[in-house]
Structure 1
Amino acid sequence: MDLNDRRQLPLFAIGTVQKLTGLSARQIRYYEEHDLIQPARTSGKQRQFSFADVERLMMIRTWLDEGHNMAGVKRNFAEMERRPAAKQMAKNELSDAEVYKWLERELLDARAQTESIFQGDLSRFYRKKH
């Protein structure tokens, strides 16, 4: 079993997820109603959450704390799924030339109305020159 399979294993009850995420059970059920998470169910219909579910809930909480609404959260997840290669590249250290290329693509892409994967990373181009 590889690491990704292990991340998908349903291990946590909703009470444990509440402690891990700081969210209420009501909030967690609300996000499930909006198809932002899909926890597994036991034969007794109890929710069982995986590490991946907990990570998604933490991202939801972070985005909401930053001021996004539910539509913005859904848009962020859609963007993440649409650009898996961009997500992977953003994790790695990029050269200035690579950042320029990605920025150019995002600026030319009319659909790029969501946050940039380079948000915060562009500051390197506006540093004071001594």
Structure 2
Amino acid sequence: MTEESRNKPLYMISVAAELTGMHPQTLRVYESKGLVNPKRSGGNTRLYSQADIERLELINQLTDEGINLAGVVRILDMKERAEARELEAEKLRSRVRQLEDELHELKMQKRITALAPRDGSADPEKVLRGLLSGGDL
């Protein structure tokens, strides 16, 4: 499921309550405490996304394990920060791969330039052997 579809507001509070096994009033309390932030329709009806449902299920699991709401807030904050850092790390890994590819291309261009004089006097077979061996002429 894409991130966009996970965040699409779909479920009214009664459906969200049924899906999570929670009372609608509990969902309102969690919203008032900032644990979940459902979107609102034009008529001000709460609309929960699949991501909201998953978050509520995690909250339910944590509270069932005896963690109070202050602890839940702390855990959710750490989880979000870890996810943001992982996303940032993946972007950095991608950028490193891109830079490695660019560096490789520049090295290849340098080797080709060194093996093929500008006046066109280089022997094509010698240039090819030099490229394949990784050495210079």
Q: TM-score scaled to structure 2, two decimals? A: 0.59
2:91 maps to which residue? Answer: none
Aligned residue in 2 for 1:111: none
- The structure-2 alpha-carbon separation of the partners of 1:76 and 1:18, relative to structure 1 and needing over 3 Å to count, comes to same
Q: Is the 8 A contact 1:39 1:50 kept in 2?
A: yes
Find the aligned partners of 2:62 and 2:86 in 1 and give their Cα distance.
Answer: 16
Q: Map 1:1-130 to 2 at 5 A.
A: 3-84=2-83
How many residue pairs end up in the alignment? 87
Cα shift at 1:42: 0.8
Alpha carbons of structure 1 residues 22 and 59: separation in structure 2 relative to 1, 3 Å: same
Counterpart of 1:22, as a letter, is: G
C-alpha displacement of 1:15:
0.9
Q: Which structure shows the higher helix fraction?
A: 2
Q: Is the 8 A contact 1:14 1:25 kept in 2?
A: yes
Q: Which runs of 5+ in 2 are unaligned?
A: 88-137
**Cα offset, 1:78, TM superposition:** 1.1
Q: TM-score, length-normalised on structure 1?
A: 0.62
Name the stretch that deviates more: 27-36 or 2-11: 2-11
Residue type of the alignment partner of 1:60: I
Query: For residues 85 and 8 of structure 1, do their structure 2 counterparts lie closer, same or farther at Cα, with a shift above 3 Å needed?
Result: closer
Percentage of matched positions with identical amino acids:
38
Higher relative contact order (CA 8 A, sep 6+): 1
Unaligned regions of 5+ residues in structure 1, if any? Answer: 89-130
CA distance in 2 between counterparts of 1:73 and 1:67 reads: 10
Deviation per residue, 1:91-116 (Å, 9 max, x gap): xxxxxxxxxxxxxxxxxxxxxxxxxx
Cα RMSD, aligned residues only: 1.9
